[in-house]
Chain A
Amino acid sequence: MTATVRLVPVQAAYDDLLKRSLSKISCDLARLIYLASTRDYNTGSYHHDGLAARFRPEIAGKALEIAHRQIFYQLSACSLEELIEQLQTYLDCSHESAADILRIWQKLEPYRVAIPVEVNPAVARLFLSNIRLALAIWRFRQEQAQKNP
């Protein structure tokens, strides 16, 4: 009974998050980055003002955490080919230059902070490795396109 009472608002907050925020984001990679950005670097807790106003802050935090884990596992299960498509969509929708994003991503690896807490270490490693490979392949393709226009 208590568990049901607790789960229902989280489910409602999760559905609300999907409907109002996540559905408007172009791809899973962008959704992952967005969800990771709602997490506090120091405490690891999630914050979203709109969601917290509609539900309680702890319910909103839990919904964000669940969505983050779900998108992370979804992306980690992608093949390299699918991940490159995700990366392409992410770069196409970004207002910054694709070459700049690529350079920074390869140099600083900011996508590392997009990993949720307490996910399986092998899956986390697979995700990082796949992003690294996707970036290298994307760059290779760009170089090939410049060589053979």
Chain B
Amino acid sequence: MIGIPTAVLLGSALFLLLLLLATRGSAAAREISSRLDVPLLDDEAGLDPCPREFVARIFAPDDWEFVRGTKSRELQKLFRRERRLVALVWVHQTSTAIRRIMREHTEITRRSHDLRFTTETKLVLLYGELMVICGMLFLAIQSAGPQRVRGLAVYADALSQRLAQAQHDFKTVAARPELHGAGSA
């Protein structure tokens, strides 16, 4: 049995390690991107978000089954390499979007006079959970391949959309007093 302080310490160390992995994952994805075709954009605010069906497609096992059916080792190797890169690009894109959302949120909270502790805590925890999942995904994609982590990727996608929605709602509520102020001015 370990004591509570040790457990907290171990938990914090694990959390920091996963955050570091998520950051390294993004850096690695950017490095990969510099060697290959489509550039990764750090500011993807103006771009289309990745539609949900594509997340399922990137991590789907059916393409792998199809390639495995050819019984060609070269094709299987090419598929694993290609799909791993696509999956890493998606993880990078997702973690970039999450960071952008939180940056935007921090900016708004600085100006807001009506902060709610529970809402803020929920958002921070959601953000932390997502960053940890991105770190785990980065590791798992590298070691096991994207097809094995489909469930986690779909979950991360749903969470990131929840975070985006929560931030959008918060922004709308925060903008209301300004609108009222503008109306009465």
Contacts and interface: CB of A to CB of B under 8 A. Distances in A.
Interface band, chain A: 20 to 34
A84 B38 CA distance: 22
Interface in A97-129: 112, 115, 118-126, 128-129
10 contacts: A76-B54, A120-B93, A121-B38, A121-B41, A121-B89, A126-B58, A129-B82, A137-B75, A140-B70, A140-B72
A77 B54 contact: yes
B67 A120 contact: no
Q: Is the interface of A mostly helix, strand, loop or mixed?
A: helix
A7 to B, nearest CB: 19
Given A81-B66, A118-B46, A122-B86, A133 B79 contact: yes
B53 A77 contact: yes
B107 to A, nearest CB: 24
Nearest to B94: A122
Nearest to A115: B38
Interface band, chain B: 35 or more
A126 B54 contact: yes
B51 interface: yes
A126 B49 contact: no
A14 to B, nearest CB: 18
Contact of B37 (A73, A112, A119, A140): A112
B75 A140 contact: yes
A108 to B, nearest CB: 13
A122 B50 contact: yes
A86 to B, nearest CB: 14
